[in-house]
């Protein structure tokens, strides 16, 4: 038996977020009965230590004090300390702590000692290059960069979900032991059809038509290159719409972007808010003429995997970690003026990208299916230590 304590996600059941989806898929697709998962779950109403079972995983609540941004650090600390009590109480041998993210990094040293004293190991997923995100003030960026460094020193293994991120870790922190296991994606097509009520409600309200729109899906933050993508689209000659699915409501960046680009004067551009219905979002991806991906910070982006699994034509920002995922199944653009415009105008008159889409879906099936990813994790967990 190998007991895995997962720290750092918001917990189960997953409601949003890449880490939460990862944890849910990990426990849902469990292959070996020799792997037992214990998942820390952030709670607002249950006290720390309340246990429940979800998809065969032992979930335990952690209710840290409300400390603003520092609450996530307290959350990880309390989760590790509580997990150590469970290990001592149940006499668990050779546990693995899998910490998602570097937030606790600056304070991790004493916790690493406790884990090793309990006969355990500390594995870390660095979650891309979080310290580069523009939403963080300079002091927080400096803290996150320092945390990244300390985590690589104290972790027994750093697991990257993108080969570009693993290469960055290896070159920046040569003392670290690393491995690569990709993030996964769902491959099943949407069960919805054009006449489904939820499809017609969305498409009729926003006056969009199947295969007649470009699509952007993602967090509404500057490092996802919304400004470049919108400016370039506005310059293009396409008569198709640009459908943008993101959390723009109440976001100050929305007004800033409107003033910079005047996208509100281009009737092709349609911010339609968020779509939480997975079947509907998959249908929207399938029916897009093309997907525009501007993700510039981080590792393997779940949105890119979903696009490659469901959209034939993908126009992707030319970052190393994006290229390592899509390879030759997508077209690439840069921030240089005219780069994305050229891709749009060159491809807009064509109608059949089925061969390109099939290549992308084949790549997703071969390297990024959840059963494959879970199998690699379980092999790692069972053979380490």
Domain match, 333 and 353 both:
yes
pLDDT band at 162 (very low <50, low <70, confident <90, very high): confident
Q: Give CA–CA dist 156/116, Å, rounded.
A: 10
Say whether both 16 and 163 belong to one domain. yes
Higher-confidence residue of 225 and 103: namely 225
Residues 226 and 147 in one domain: no
pTM over 0.85: yes
The whole domain housing 203 covers 197-367
CATH of the domain at 354: 3.40.50.2000
C-alpha 357/C-alpha 288 separation (Å) is 12
Has residue 146 been placed in a domain?
Answer: yes
Lowest mean pLDDT among 71-80, 126-135, 223-232, 290-299: 126-135
In a shared domain, residues 47 and 172: yes
Residue with structure tokens 């779950």? Answer: 41
Considering the domain boundaries, does residue 192 fall inside one?
Answer: no
Helix (H, G, I), strand (E, B) or coil at 88: helix
Q: What angle do CA 127, 132, 138 make, to 5 degrees?
A: 125
* One domain for residues 178 and 202: no
Residue 189, domain member (yes or no): no
Give the Cα separation of 174 and 221 in Å (integer): 31
Q: Are residues 237 and 91 in the same domain?
A: no
Phi, psi torsion values for 318, nearest 5 degrees = -85, 70
Average pLDDT, rounded, for the chain:
93
Yes or no: say if 274 and 105 are a contact pair by the CB < 8 Å rule. Answer: no
359 and 232 in a single domain? The answer is yes
Q: Do residues 312 and 249 both lie within one domain?
A: yes
For residue range 318-334, list pLDDT tens digits in order.
998 899 899 999 999 99
Q: Which pLDDT tens digit goes with each residue over 267-320?
A: 999 999 999 899 999 999 999 999 999 998 777 888 999 999 999 999 999 998
Closest CA relative to residue 268, chosen from 191, 212, 324, 341: 212
The predicted-structure confidence for 99-143, as pLDDT tens digits, reads as follows 999 889 889 999 999 999 999 999 999 876 666 666 667 887 888
Torsional sign, CA 123, 128, 129, 134: negative
Q: In this predicted structure, what is the pLDDT of residue 300?
A: 81
CA–CA gap between residue 217 and residue 95 (Å, rounded): 38
Cβ contact 51:60 at 8 Å? yes
């Amino acid at each position: 038996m190998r007991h895995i304590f997962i720290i750092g996600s918001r917990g189960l059941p997953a409601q949003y977020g890449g880490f939460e989806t990862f944890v849910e898929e990990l426990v849902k697709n469990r292959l070996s009965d020799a792997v037992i998962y214990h998942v820390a779950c952030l709670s607002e109403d249950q006290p720390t230590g309340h246990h429940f079972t979800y998809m065969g995983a032992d979930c335990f609540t952690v209710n840290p004090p409300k400390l603003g941004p520092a609450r996530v650090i307290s959350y990880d600390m309390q989760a590790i300390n509580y997990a150590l009590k469970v290990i001592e109480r149940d006499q668990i041998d050779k546990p693995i702590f899998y910490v998602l993210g570097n937030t606790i990094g600056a304070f991790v040293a004493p916790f690493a000692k406790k884990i090793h004293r309990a006969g355990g190991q500390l594995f870390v997923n660095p979650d891309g290059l979080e310290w580069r995100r523009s939403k963080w003030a300079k002091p927080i960026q400096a803290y996150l960069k320092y945390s990244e460094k300390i985590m690589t020193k104290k972790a027994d293994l750093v697991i990257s979900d993108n080969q570009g991120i693993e290469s960055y870790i290896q070159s920046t922190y040569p003392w670290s032991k690393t491995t690569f296991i990709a993030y996964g994606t769902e491959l099943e097509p949407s069960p919805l059809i054009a006449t489904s009520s939820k499809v017609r409600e969305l498409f009729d309200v926003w006056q969009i038509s199947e295969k007649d729109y470009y699509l952007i899906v993602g967090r509404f933050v500057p490092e996802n290159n919304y400004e470049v993508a919108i400016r370039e689209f506005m310059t293009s000659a396409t008569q198709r719409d640009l459908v943008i699915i993101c959390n723009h409501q109440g976001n100050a960046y929305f007004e800033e972007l409107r003033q910079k680009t005047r996208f509100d004067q281009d009737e092709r551009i349609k911010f339609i808010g968020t779509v939480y219905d997975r079947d509907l979002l998959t249908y929207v991806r399938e029916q897009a003429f093309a997907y525009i991906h501007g993700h510039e910070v981080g590792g393997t982006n779940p949105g890119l995997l979903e696009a490659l699994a469901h959209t034939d034509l993908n126009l992707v920002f030319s970052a190393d970690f994006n290229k390592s995922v899509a390879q030759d199944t997508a077209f690439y653009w840069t921030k240089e003026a005219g780069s994305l415009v050229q891709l749009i105008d060159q491809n807009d008159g064509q109608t059949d990208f089925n061969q390109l889409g099939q290549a992308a879906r084949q790549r997703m099936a071969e390297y990024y299916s959840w059963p494959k990813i879970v199998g690699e994790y379980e092999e790692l967990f069972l053979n380490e230590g």
